[in-house]
A and B are shown apart, each in its own frame.
Chain A
Amino acid sequence: MLPRLPRMSVETDRKAIIEFRNVGYRLPAGQSLLNNVNFSVLRGETLVLIGRSGAGKTTALKLINRLLEPSDGEVHIEGRPTIRWDPILLRRRIGYVIQDTGLFPHFTVEQNVSLVPRLEHWSEERIGSRSKELLALVGLEPGKFLQRYPHELSGGQRQRVGVARALAADPQILLMDEPFGALDPLTRGEVRREFHDLEQQLGKTIVIVTHDISEALLLGTRIGLLEAGELRGIYSPREFLRAPEPVAAAYIAQLRMLKEAEQDNS
């Protein structure tokens, strides 16, 4: 195992809000999903983890809010290892958006959105005004949507509610697992662009997991490439386009093909 570099820990003290230190994760059966992963996420930046299915992206995300605990190494949040955080407290400070939204089907939009504030015993007035504010933030008219149930919403609307719910208690960190993956391509583009605006506006620290290269390039401050449980590199979007990694090159080739198809048809 490599000794930790001093440069890294200085960075930690300054502004790293999430830090992976030699992190490994194995299933109880012994299969290794993540291997010696090191990276840090700075306050206010958006890190996109990209990789194919099974590369360990979701595992990495779940290590951050302690849905999983590392088998080796440590994940630090605000300078403290996750295993020393109270998991409930930690998770309430971290927004979480998943692909299938996980909206509660028996809760109205308002109840879904105000879940964490209610768990945190906010006053009714504060919850009410926060819910309205949140829906407006994600582009849904509060008067029209607050009392609806998830099954009365379109896929794009559900995803927006999912984002609003994750932002409810104003967490510093937002985790998103394939947040736009279940949407049709047109809606996906729309919701993604909206989220891009929101991202600029909010200044949160965001970690997004995706296998969609255009999403990574649009939303990421930096892009981490995961392959077979290992972090192959972290690049700025500009660097990623020229990254020497064969997998990165494959992603870019895929992007080029799309572009060419577009041009051929126009």
Chain B
Amino acid sequence: MLYADLFGWWIATITWSIAFPIAVSLYLYRRRPGKQHANPERKLGLLRDFTFVWFLAGLLVLYIVTVSQGSALLFAVGNIVVEALLLLYVSRSGKEAAA
């Protein structure tokens, strides 16, 4: 692998760029308006609110694995699968919001 000495740096930066919005989302979630009225039993709702975080984490794994393998094909296939899931998620969320 060319530039192998930079691989560690690269993993650090891309991990940081994914960890940062996740940290921000936790911060925003804790400070959200109307928090005191939230239902503590709503565990599933909480998981759903953070769906995009699971996508981010999944993408991080996909990107690190495919780039470390140097496989453009694996990268492309993985992306298409994630895109299909994302499209499903945003379409369902859009319908829920409209309702």
Instruction: Please say whether chains A and B are actual partners in one complex.
Output: no
**Chain A interfacial positions (CB closer than 8 Å to B):** none
**Chain B interfacial positions (CB closer than 8 Å to A):** none
